[in-house]
A and B are shown apart, each in its own frame.
Chain A
Amino acid sequence: MTNGLPDLLKGLSPEDASEVLALGKRLLLSSGAELFHLGQDADALHVIQRGRIRLTLPMQLRGHDEQVLVEERTPGQTVGWSALIPPYRFTLTATAPLETEVVSFSREPLLAHFAEHPAVAQTISLNLASVIGQRLQLFQTMWLREMQRTVELRYA
């Protein structure tokens, strides 16, 4: 993992961070293994310890579904935040392009911990909002850039 705390735990004291990390379960993914699949129920979010996670969406290429890269996440980053956001379903597919280790946090134990530690819940929720907000800003920008090109092609 990168030096310091993962994105999700930034701002927590070392003790609070350790307590949250103790709720997680280490998961080793071999190269090519799938962490979660588009449309699946999302019951756990994952913090990448080492390796890499590719987030993909299916795209029709010459009549076949092909997984196209949407984002790539690296150690210290969080994937699978759909586990904490209704309707708790993954909207992307996550795979490990190389041997990867993640810490998985199931929703129920995490929410129970949040209920007992509101300050920790607030910090983690803000961190999560930052992850989601960053994704939104990036994709809003990428969408507008594609729209601009489409308009230029269509009305050139």
Chain B
Amino acid sequence: MVLCMSVLGLALAAMAFGSATRPERTTPTAHVQPGAAQAAQTRFFVDPTPGRVPIEALLLEIENHVRLEQAAAESFVEFPTKAMLHSKTTSTFVN
């Protein structure tokens, strides 16, 4: 009986010690949350759609693409080969 009580007491003490010294599981999440909140706050005041290209820049990009494609097509019409047909351009639209 005394032995059983001792083993039980030891087990309880071990559990209590383990629980007291275990690292906080929620710590990483807790560290991320303030950061995310800060980022959301920044977006709210600065740019609701970060990375969105302005329409003027987009139109210029399309125009550049059209010109490059036209030049590539003209080269193909002049020297019609399979390689020329699928030649690559430097267009940012397709690279």
Q: A69-B66, A70-B66 known; A144 and B85 CB under 8 Å? A: yes
Q: Give the size category of B's interface with A.
A: 10 to 19
Residue B15, interface by CB 8 Å: no
Contact A68 B69 (CB under 8 A): no
Question: For chain B, what secondary structure do more than half of its interface residues adopt (helix, strand, loop), or is it mixed?
Answer: helix
Residues of B within 8 A of A71 (CB): 70
**Complex-state Cα separation, A57 to B55, whole angstroms:** 16
**Complex-state Cα separation, A69 to B61, whole angstroms:** 11
State the total of A-B contacts with C-beta under 8 angstroms. Answer: 44
Contact A142 B69 (CB under 8 A): yes
Q: A141-B85, A144-B85, A148-B86 known; A66 and B74 CB under 8 Å? A: no
| Per-residue contact bits, chain A 86-123, to B (CB 8 Å; 1 contact, 0 not) | 00000000000000000000000000000000000000
Residue A3, interface by CB 8 Å: no
Which among B63, B72, B73, B85 has the highest number of chain A CB atoms within 10 Å? B73
| Per-residue contact bits, chain B 56-95, to A (CB 8 Å; 1 contact, 0 not) | 0011001100110110111011000000011000000010
Q: A141-B85, A145-B73 known; A66 and B66 CB under 8 Å? A: no
Contact B59 A141 (CB under 8 A): no
Total residues of chain A contacting the partner, CB 8 A? 21
Which of these, A62, A134, A146, A149, contacts B55 with CB under 8 Å?
A62
Contact B59 A138 (CB under 8 A): no
- A interface residue numbers (CB < 8 A to B): 59, 61-62, 64, 66, 68-72, 134, 137-139, 141-142, 144-146, 148-149
18 contacts between A and B (CB under 8 A): A68-B63, A68-B66, A69-B62, A69-B67, A70-B66, A72-B67, A134-B77, A137-B73, A138-B70, A139-B73, A141-B73, A141-B76, A142-B70, A145-B72, A145-B73, A145-B85, A148-B86, A149-B94
- B interface residue numbers (CB < 8 A to A): 55, 58-59, 62-63, 66-67, 69-70, 72-74, 76-77, 85-86, 94
